[in-house]
Amino acid sequence: MATTEIAPTGSAPSAERTPVVNDFSIQVATANGSGSQSANTILLRSIFQMGVPVSGKNLFPSNIAGLPTWYTIRASKKGYIARKKEIDFVVAMNPETGREDVFNLSSGAAVLYDEPLKLSELRSDLIFYSVPFDKLVAAVCPEAKLRKLVKNMIYVGVMAQLLNIDMAEVEKALRKQFAKKLKAADLNWNAAKAGYDYAHASLTKCDPFTVERMDKTHGMIIVDGNSAAAMGCMFAGVTVVTWYPITPSSSLVESLIDYMKAYRVGPDGKATFAIVQAEDELAAIGMVLGAGWAGARSMTATAGPGISLMAEFAGLGYYVEVPGVIWDIQRVGPSTGLPTRTSQGDIEFVAKLSHGDTFHPMLIPSTASECFSMATEAFNLAEHLQTPVFVMSDLDLGMNNWMSEPFEYPKEPIKRGKILSKEDLDRLGGFNRYKDVDGDGIGYRTLPGIDHPQGAWFARGSGHNEKGQYSERPDDYKNNLDRLRRKFENARTLVPKPEVVRDESNDIGIIAYGTSHHALVEALDQLKDDHGVHADYLRLRAFPFTPEVHDFIASHPRVYVIDQNRDGQMLNLLKLDIAPEHVVRLRSVRHYNGLPIDGRSVTDDIISQESK
Amino acid sequence: MAATATTQPKTNHIGLTVLDYRGSKTTLCAGCGHNAISERIIDAFYEMGMQPERVIKLSGIGCSSKSPAYFMGRSHSFNSVHGRMPSVTTGAVLANSRLVALGVSGDGDTASIGIGQFVHLMRRNLPVIYIIEDNGVYGLTKGQFSATADVGSKLKTGVINDLPPIDTCALAISLGATFVGRSFSGDKRQLHAMLKAALAHRGTVMIDVVSPCVTFNDHEGSTKSYKFMKDHEEPLHEINFVPRFAEIDVDYDPGSVVNVTMHDGSSLRLHKIEEDYDPTNKIGAIKRIMESQEAEEVLTGVLYVNTQAPNFLEMLDMTDAPLATLPERLIRPSREVLEECMEALR
């Protein structure tokens, strides 16, 4: 019995179409908590193992179980790993969303669905594959209560057969996924095989999408940004980690806990770190600053609502001049917002987080690899500048799976900044904590516990003079604040420089940062190939802005700034920083619907603004 | 310096004089209870021979939180933000477990804005000496009630407090603090002995010290005034602290004295005034505190002590050397580890 249902009327697509090789998006629609994550990861890895560049994005609800969730796998022979708006193949497992999932598709797309959903009746311009999942799973999984979980592995097998994915790769990915659970691995492997066999026997391939082996993923890894950041922090020598659980940052610390337990236990069998779950974000950053003051490399990870709570302490850290690293895995605000969706909505707030005159350095990773490398940069910078440093990741980067080159071992040693030792004090006879001895705005500090009668200094959030003594004198206050400004100016020369890709364009410059980078890579090709528009591209990697940023704007009459927020937050920071006559050069592209930005939206927006 | 001085200044057993434990001149009001507490801290740390460089002083915001500037100038100090001293202290102690942390807070800083961090510090039993300089009012903002003010107590302006007070001692005991006391800034002998014992304890020490505000809360109708305390203080025992380095020991009658052996081998001896009070009984302690509230008495002394419970640092099982000073080879794993991590992701 052939269950492939060619639409009864209209122009049904046929297998005669030119095959589409290694260039499509699959969307798997399931219910949250149904165990589809393992199945999706295995499908993603199987394609990756065949040498085809992939990316995986999880669109999930703020819910434990039951609400709809979608996972998108994009295969791209050109190596594009941004979100692609168009879906080519839907795996419809969720009765709640089946209709919508089908109606959202463009003509010619394919749908694999659970037989009882009867989705093929809905449209005549799609390709439908019906699979009796319940019947198939019952045959391979005698234990009824496990069937809900194992059912998902059936579609992995079906998709492997339809897309020509090597089942040996599926098995390899599956055994890796269930490495510590042999019984679960066997059960799931049988389910995948059942799906494959069913498709082989009963489905007729009618869609054009197919996977062919390439060699573009050799040696590469698949990792989420939060795990990459966790590894980065471990190799950066973090010693005190404090946190309060909040989506989407929790997985960073949870991953860090696992890594530290595995690799950061000393020769005496004892931990070379402390990880503490605090009572709230106020306490988390308070502990970070207390630890930083006492000499630890300390950090926390949070998201928007936590950042709001940390504002007062951020000002204290800035003013008392204590190092600390804060990872902000940005989600959608304001308020609770959309806790499981992505944005770059905290940029402007964090830049000046606190009351009073304040500035904070921000490092902005675009890739998993930068989540790793910027950890060491952030800690070294925080200790060099003696100030809190924020690393501005986002949910898309932090929680999704990214293909990446393996990480490079940190080149920079662990640098502790200007810390005076007992011997230094013997030589100097004493020190003034906030005196600008070197002209870079950075004073010398001592760590509590130093065995010297002149070693102590008084850290206070109230007004203080060069010696750290309480002072309300106008000149003391102003001198101190001016020195802090000098320190921030000095930071321009210390933060990671932008990455500039020139296409010999004298007209158009594009500035993007964070995860927008991946959409930009694709948009630049689209602008060139589809519209003949050439643009130079600057990828910002830090705040404060380095001289390269000013030069880039000065050398392009039109500069598009890409923000994943409503208000053009990076655009606003740039406007405050550049020469007034250059402000008119800045144009804005804004994406803020909670989904990761895609290349096509950027291209269309720029083309539309160019034609005005 | 007088050139005619013939006698050596008196020193403690590490060779420091009491002057080595002093700080800047106080800017608090003359007669403020907080100044008396600073003096007791100086005396206790001096007598115990505590190296000032090993001590860190931490505070939040308020009159009480200013006071760390007025004692032990050779110790590092961190005057942080309102109600957040516990978290800053926690971080510092995690970074360097060899430090002796002294947190100074007030009733507003602890029982109102800081109550969240206070309760979580208590339940972690982090090694810290936490002193509340408790006057029942906000001094720096000119005399509003705090959350430790008693029902019926009266402000200078005539306003009567009608909300029940938070008893920080009962709270601390119920949450897991392992050395909880209440004292009075005017009770020199008791507070002095209690602070010395506190230095021998490895866990959270919480001492609520009633410390009258001479400017805003020392009048008729206040329950935190010098006069009220003189009339209503109800000591549980006379405290005698015998440090481990003391050469002479005195015999005591086990029937009339509770002897608590502290972590460092010193002895805390509580000479019973109340015959049946057992400071190692948590439930009894809380019951007795509540009874004293009913009777409008201020029960003072070591209300609860537990030298057995593990502290937070022990639970974390950290390496003995301070985390703050670990060398790169101990805190940055090898290239081989990175390769192993990468291989797991291929």
pLDDT of residue A564: 98
Which residues make Cβ contacts (< 8 Å) with residue B179, sequence separation at least 6? B197, B198, B201, B203, B204, B205, B206, B302, B304, B305, B306
Q: Do A461 and B81 touch (CB under 8 A)?
A: yes
In a domain, B238, yes or no: yes
In a domain, B343, yes or no: no
For residue range B12-54, what is the model confidence (pLDDT) as tens digits?
Answer: 999 999 999 999 999 999 999 999 999 999 999 999 999 999 9
What is the pLDDT of chain B when averaged over all its residues? Answer: 94
Domain that holds residue B163: 18-320
Distance CA A150, CA A39 (A): 9
Is the pLDDT reported for residue B295 higher than 80?
A: yes
Q: What chain B residue is nearest to A263 in terms of C-alpha separation? A: B333
In a domain, B332, yes or no: no
pLDDT of residue A2: 41
Contact A440, A487 (CB under 8 A): yes
In a domain, B5, yes or no: no
Q: Which of A235, A407, A456 sits opposite B332 (nearest CB)?
A: A235
In a domain, B59, yes or no: yes
- Please count the other Cβ atoms lying within 10 Å of the Cβ belonging to residue A607: 15
User: Which regions of chain A carry the CATH code 3.40.50.970?
Assistant: 223-404
What is the pLDDT of chain A when averaged over all its residues? Answer: 95
For chain B, how many structural domains are there in total? 1
B322 reaches A (C-beta below 8 A): yes
CATH number of the structural domain A499-610: 3.40.50.920
pLDDT confidence bin for A531, thresholds 50/70/90 = very high
- Topology adopted by domain A20-210: Pyruvate-ferredoxin Oxidoreductase; domain 3 (3.40.920)
Residues in A 431-460 with any Cβ partner in B closer than 8 A: 446-453, 455-460
Which positions in chain B touch A413 (Cβ < 8 Å)?
328
User: Which regions of chain A carry the CATH code 3.40.920.10?
Assistant: 20-210
pLDDT of residue B274: 82
pLDDT of residue B7: 77
Q: Residues B75-104: what's their mean pLDDT? A: 98
Say whether the ipTM exceeds 0.90.
yes
Which positions in chain B touch A290 (Cβ < 8 Å)?
58, 78, 80, 87-95
Q: Residues A261-267: what's their mean pLDDT? A: 93
In a domain, B85, yes or no: yes
Q: Does domain A223-404 have CATH number 3.40.50.970?
A: yes
For residue range A301-329, what is the model confidence (pLDDT) as tens digits?
Answer: 999 999 999 999 999 999 999 999 999 99
Which residues make Cβ contacts (< 8 Å) with residue A302, sequence separation at least 6? A243, A244, A246, A249, A281, A284, A310, A326, A327, A328, A329
Q: Tell me which H or E stretch contains A223.
A: strand A221-224
A355 reaches B (C-beta below 8 A): no
For residue range A47-83, what is the model confidence (pLDDT) as tens digits?
Answer: 999 999 999 999 988 888 889 999 999 999 999 999 9
A320 reaches B (C-beta below 8 A): yes
Q: Do B91 and A266 touch (CB under 8 A)?
A: no
**Looking at residue B28, which CATH number applies to its domain?**
3.40.50.970
pLDDT confidence bin for A519, thresholds 50/70/90 = very high
Pairing verdict, β B55-59 and B100-106:
parallel
User: Which regions of chain A carry the CATH code 3.40.50.920?
Assistant: 499-610
Q: Residues A90-115: what's their mean pLDDT? A: 96
Residues in A 89-108 with any Cβ partner in B closer than 8 A: none
In a domain, B142, yes or no: yes
Which positions in chain A touch B53 (Cβ < 8 Å)?
449-453, 455-456
Q: Which of B51, B69, B91 sits opposite A470 (nearest CB)?
A: B69
Q: Residues A590-605: what's their mean pLDDT? A: 97
Pairing verdict, β A536-540 and A499-501:
antiparallel
Q: What chain A residue is nearest to B335 in terms of C-alpha separation? A: A409
Burial of A237 (C-beta count, 10 Å sphere; 0-12/13-18/19+): buried
Which positions in chain A touch B326 (Cβ < 8 Å)?
239, 272
B345 reaches A (C-beta below 8 A): yes
Q: Which of A270, A447, A453 sits opposite B74 (nearest CB)?
A: A453
Q: Do A295 and B95 touch (CB under 8 A)?
A: yes
Percent above pLDDT 90 for chain A: 93
In a domain, B133, yes or no: yes
Is the pLDDT reported for residue B5 higher than 80?
A: no
